[in-house]
Amino acid sequence: MLWHMPHDDETTGRRVRLFRNGRNQAVRIPREFELAGKEAILRKDGDRLIIEPVTRGGLLAVLADLRPIREAFVDPDAGLGPLDEVEV
């Protein structure tokens, strides 16, 4: 009787080769798994490495993430004398 144990590539993805790039270990990402953009976030979850694209949502996303400023603004005129009238 022959037993067939599925490889990870058969159940969750595609098998790839690891290689060295200088002092770093690297993996070539197949075309069907390419990420958009030029940056990604790499994190480790146990023995798994998870690569996620860095998404930039534009100005509206930045503005949505801003928090109110709690500090009082400095009065730039504080300590100055009154302005002189200028004739033009």
Q: Which two tokens stand for residue 18?
A: 């690891």
Q: How confident is the model at residue 12 (pLDDT cuts 50, 70, 90)?
A: low
Using a cut of 0.85, tell me whether the model's pTM lies above it: no
Q: What is the mean pLDDT of residues 65-86?
A: 87
Of 18, 59, 53, 60, the closest CA to residue 37 belongs to 53
Q: What is the mean pLDDT of residues 32-54?
A: 90
- Provide the 8-state DSSP code for 61: H
- Decide if pLDDT at 56 tops 70: yes
